């Protein structure tokens, strides 16, 4: 059971980063489907930087920067030129997959040392709970800290309120004097940086190597996760752990003694997302779905 | 996925002109993974390079990578066929039915499908007897494993993979009859993250030696970080686990590809069924390292016995895990049985989805 729970926390980490970033972007009213592409850009930039400089810290920063650069393209095209957001996001995914493959071409076959793990204090290490929660690398804790910060920001700060206002009704927000496009651009850039770190986690800690398409659809799961969490940060933690548990359950079939086909487990995250969508539309009380999600905004003059 | 779409579109739009007699032969490859997977697809791509090196201006090659096994594959294959390719290699088991379908529609185009069993006048099949290499790896594992329990990172429950699991375990049991294998299905040919997860899970559940039938080097790397020995797959993965990799089965497709293209060029191509192993060199073993000299020597000896045809990995008695005898004592499994293998031998732990 213990290795299973450890594996779940580790597997949830890339989802946490990418989904939290996407949540902020979506709460500002922008649907960026380019998460997978931004994660790949982050993964390759982090790997190449860490390999050439020898510093995983710089690698993480490079991952964030590369993800944000991908997001910048999205900002220019979808917000600056008001192009269709869904199409721009898909294009960004294709671009990210291609560009990361090109950048990483010369680095296939190289390997890194994984990020160091924090060691639990020895006198506490005999407790199973301590062993599960400690012994992770810094990015794992960073993911949970990031969610806490985003939750506080969205719910308890004036700036967070503005961001939500922009996502819910961009025309009223503009009438109140808020810079809609500026706020949205920053939210999307933040989302890109988070996706980049999510990708960096894959190439620095999860499997410290570079391989083309190594995100293998995790960006899409992160997108589904935002919906599953009904756009609430704390539910992302819950959702990411559940999705990761589906992901890992097949591996621990012997220990857990389960009889579910592994194909069903692969499908489960998407099934859960569809159920969540149905429940959101059935719910009578107002949900947190940003009312202007994905809608183009042209400032009135 | 999307890149393949664009690539496919480009070939369909740009290259539809009819072929004149002295135009170069266009050879197309459809890959299931990226050419940078450092495993299965990488080795096929080495074959493509060998064709270019050998025939130069006489051929023109195209490849489409990361094609998913499903409706997308049929579209990609059809576009290659419609854009003047004379010979098309589809290099994954899941491309079988799409290839058969497209081959029917383009009788003048020659097709070759890797690891499948459906043929036609213009559709040949080819595969390698990887199980020979897996038997050798299994013998090494039987000698190296302390608790007699190996972990197997598996992709999909198809005969090729099942055969590999059984061959490995039979090799293990030839030195330690009580050996067991735990199998974890990752339901993907290429997903480094999932392959690493499966490896960790297998180690956590007691496996002290790891082998894989997926295409990325992540299992070797993960095992190396856990201090556990492992076997590479399809390509030499030594770089990812210098202290862990014991040997690796190398798929050497290049000579086959060069021969087949030559046959199309001189007009002698026929639909054939090729299934070569260690003997002609389609299956090669990377150097035996990170083990005692005695073990390496024994492995080399087994390799030679297989090459000379003195040893068949599937020699009876072979009993499946439900207790049914599948190969009688003293007999060997025939190719037909091996090509459709759908049972695990005694000692395999883990489900076998039907």
Residues B125 and B214 in one domain: no
Report pLDDT digits (tens) over B225-251. 999 999 998 888 988 999 999 999 999
Out of A119-123, A148-152, A263-267, least confident range: A119-123
Instruction: Give the Cβ contact number of residue A279 at 10 Å.
Output: 12
Residues B120 and B143 in one domain: no
Residue from B146, B148, B184 nearest B165 by CA? B184
Residues B95 and B181 in one domain: no
Instruction: Give me the residue from B38, B204, B225 closest to A109, CB to CB.
Output: B38
Mutation target for B interface from A93, A132, A136, A211: give the one with most B CBs within 10 A: A211
Report pLDDT digits (tens) over A97-118. 999 999 998 888 788 888 888 8
Tally the domains of chain B.
Answer: 2
Instruction: Give me the residue from A208, A209, A261 closest to B353, CB to CB.
Output: A261
Question: CA nearest B6 in A: which residue?
Answer: A94
Predicted local distance difference test score (pLDDT) of residue A178: 92
Residues B156 and B292 in one domain: yes
Residues B182 and B323 in one domain: yes
Predicted local distance difference test score (pLDDT) of residue B13: 46
When pLDDT is cut at 50, 70 and 90, the band that residue A126 belongs to is: confident
A4 vs B contacts (CB less than 8 Å): 201, 204
Residues B91 and B17 in one domain: yes
ipTM of the complex: 0.81
B351 vs A contacts (CB less than 8 Å): 253, 259, 261-262
Shortest distance between the Cα of B185 and any Cα of chain A, in A, equals 7
Give yes or no for a cis peptide into B175 (omega within 30° of 0). no
User: Looking at the domain assignment, is residue B354 inside a domain?
Assistant: no
User: Looking at the domain assignment, is residue B343 inside a domain?
Assistant: yes
Residues B320 and B236 in one domain: yes
Residues B244 and B291 in one domain: yes
What mean pLDDT do residues A131-149 have? Answer: 91
Average per-residue pLDDT in chain A? 90
Q: Would the pLDDT of A88 be above 50?
A: yes
Report pLDDT digits (tens) over B86-98. 999 999 999 999 9
A55 touching B, CB under 8 A? no
Chain A, residues 251-290, CB within 8 A of chain B, namely 251-255, 259, 261-263, 266
Question: Is residue A60 within 8 Å of residue A197, measured between CB atoms?
Answer: yes
| Alpha-helix runs per DSSP H in chain B | 2-14, 40-55, 71-82, 96-105, 130-144, 159-175, 192-204, 218-225, 254-265, 293-307, 335-339
Residues B245 and B161 in one domain: yes
What mean pLDDT do residues A149-167 have? Answer: 96
A103 touching B, CB under 8 A? no
Give the domain extent around B120: 2-129+253-276
Report pLDDT digits (tens) over A277-298. 788 777 756 678 888 898 888 8
Predicted local distance difference test score (pLDDT) of residue B18: 40
What mean pLDDT do residues A70-91 have? Answer: 95
A213 touching B, CB under 8 A? yes
Question: What are the C-alpha distances in Å from B44 to residues A249, B50, B79, B202, B335?
Answer: 33, 10, 20, 29, 24
Predicted local distance difference test score (pLDDT) of residue B3: 52
Chain A, residues 3-42, CB within 8 A of chain B, namely 3-4, 7, 11, 14
CA A60 remoteness from chain centre: 14
Predicted local distance difference test score (pLDDT) of residue B16: 41
User: Residue B181 belongs to a domain with what CATH number?
Assistant: 3.40.50.2300
The DSSP line for A59-99 is HHHHHHHHHHHHHHHHIIIIIIS---HHHHHHHHHHHHHHH
Domains of chain A: 2-282 (1.10.3470)
Q: Is the pTM of this model over 0.95?
A: no
Residues B214 and B345 in one domain: yes
Question: CA nearest B220 in A: which residue?
Answer: A207
Residues B111 and B164 in one domain: no
Q: Which residues in chain B come in under a pLDDT of 50?
A: 1, 8-20
Predicted local distance difference test score (pLDDT) of residue A135: 82
The DSSP line for A257-279 is T----HHHHHHHHHHHHHHHHHH
Residues B205 and B172 in one domain: yes
Question: Is residue B43 within 8 Å of residue B235, measured between CB atoms?
Answer: yes
Mutation target for A interface from B38, B66, B201: give the one with most A CBs within 10 A: B201
B97 touching A, CB under 8 A? no
User: Looking at the domain assignment, is residue B40 inside a domain?
Assistant: yes
Mutation target for B interface from A48, A204, A219, A251: give the one with most B CBs within 10 A: A251
Residue from B181, B178, B174 nearest B316 by CA? B174
Instruction: Please name the helix (run of DSSP H) or strand (run of DSSP E) that holds residue A289, with its range, or none.
Output: none
Burial A283-301 (b: 16+ CB within 10 A, else e): eeeeebbbebbbeebeeee
Instruction: Give me the residue from A97, A252, A253 closest to B351, CB to CB.
Output: A253
Phi, psi of B232 (to 5 degrees): -80, 175
């Amino acid at each position: 059971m213990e290795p299973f729970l450890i594996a779940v926390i580790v597997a949830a980490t890339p989802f946490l980063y990418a989904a939290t970033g996407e949540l902020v972007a979506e709460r500002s009213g922008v649907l960026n489907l380019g998460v997978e592409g931004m994660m790949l850009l982050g993964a390759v930039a982090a790997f190449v930087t860490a390999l050439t400089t020898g510093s995983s810290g710089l690698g993480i920063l490079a991952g964030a920067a590369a993800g944000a650069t991908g997001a910048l393209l999205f900002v220019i095209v979808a917000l600056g030129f008001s192009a269709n957001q869904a199409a721009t996001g898909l294009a960004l995914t294709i671009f990210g997959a291609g560009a990361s493959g090109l950048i990483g071409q010369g680095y296939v076959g190289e390997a890194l040392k994984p990020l160091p793990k924090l060691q639990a204090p020895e006198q506490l290490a005999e407790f199973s709970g301590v062993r599960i929660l400690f012994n992770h690398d810094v990015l794992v804790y960073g993911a949970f800290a990031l969610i806490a910060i985003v939750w506080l920001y969205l719910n308890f700060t004036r700036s967070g309120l503005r961001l939500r206002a922009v996502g819910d009704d961009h025309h009223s927000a503009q009438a109140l004097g808020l810079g809609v496009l500026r706020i949205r651009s920053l939210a999307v850039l933040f989302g890109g940086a988070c996706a980049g770190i999510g990708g960096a986690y894959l190439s620095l800690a999860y499997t410290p190597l570079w391989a083309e398409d190594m995100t293998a659809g995790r960006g899409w799961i992160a997108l589904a996760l935002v919906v599953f969490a009904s756009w609430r940060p704390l539910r992302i933690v819950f959702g990411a752990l559940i999705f990761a548990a589906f992901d890992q359950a097949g591996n621990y079939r012997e220990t857990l003694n389960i009889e579910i086909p592994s194909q069903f487990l692969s499908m489960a995250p998407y099934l859960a997302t569809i159920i969540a969508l149905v429940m959101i539309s059935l719910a009578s009380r107002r949900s947190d779905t940003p009312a202007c999600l994905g809608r183009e905004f042209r400032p009135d003059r | 996925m999307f890149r393949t779409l664009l690539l496919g579109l480009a070939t369909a739009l740009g290259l539809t002109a009819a072929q004149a007699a002295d135009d170069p032969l266009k050879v197309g490859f459809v890959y299931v993974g990226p050419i940078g997977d450092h495993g299965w697809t990488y080795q096929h791509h080495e074959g493509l390079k060998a064709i270019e090196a050998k025939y130069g201006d006489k051929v023109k090659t195209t490849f489409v990578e990361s094609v998913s096994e499903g409706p997308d594959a049929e579209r990609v294959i059809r576009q290659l066929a419609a854009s003047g390719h004379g010979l098309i290699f589809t290099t994954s088991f899941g491309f079988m039915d799409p290839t058969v379908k497209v081959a029917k529609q383009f009788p003048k185009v020659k097709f070759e499908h890797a690891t499948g069993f459906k043929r036609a006048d213009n559709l040949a099949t080819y595969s390698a007897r990887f199980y020979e290499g897996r038997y050798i790896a299994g013998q090494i594992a039987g000698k190296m494993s302390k608790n007699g329990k190996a972990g197997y990172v598996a992709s999909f429950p198809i005969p090729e993979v099942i055969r590999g699991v059984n061959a490995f375990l039979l090799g293990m049991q030839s030195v330690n009859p009580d050996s067991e294998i735990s199998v974890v299905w990752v339901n993907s040919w290429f997903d480094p993250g999932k392959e690493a997860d499966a490896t960790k899970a297998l180690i956590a559940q007691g496996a002290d030696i790891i082998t894989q039938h997926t295409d990325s080097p992540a299992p070797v790397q993960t095992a190396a970080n856990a201090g556990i020995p492992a076997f590479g797959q399809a390509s030499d993965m030594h770089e990812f686990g210098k202290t862990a990799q014991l040997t690796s089965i190398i798929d050497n497709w290049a000579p086959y590809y060069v021969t087949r293209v030559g046959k199309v060029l001189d007009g002698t191509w026929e639909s054939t069924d090729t299934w070569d192993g260690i003997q002609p060199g389609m299956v090669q073993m990377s150097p035996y390292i990170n083990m005692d000299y005695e073990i390496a020597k024994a492995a080399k000896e087994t390799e030679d016995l297989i090459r000379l045809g003195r040893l068949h990995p599937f020699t009876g008695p072979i009993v499946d895990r439900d207790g049914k005898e599948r190969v009688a004592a003293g007999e060997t499994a025939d190719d037909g049985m091996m090509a459709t293998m759908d049972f695990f031998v005694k000692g395999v732990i883990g489900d076998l989805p039907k």
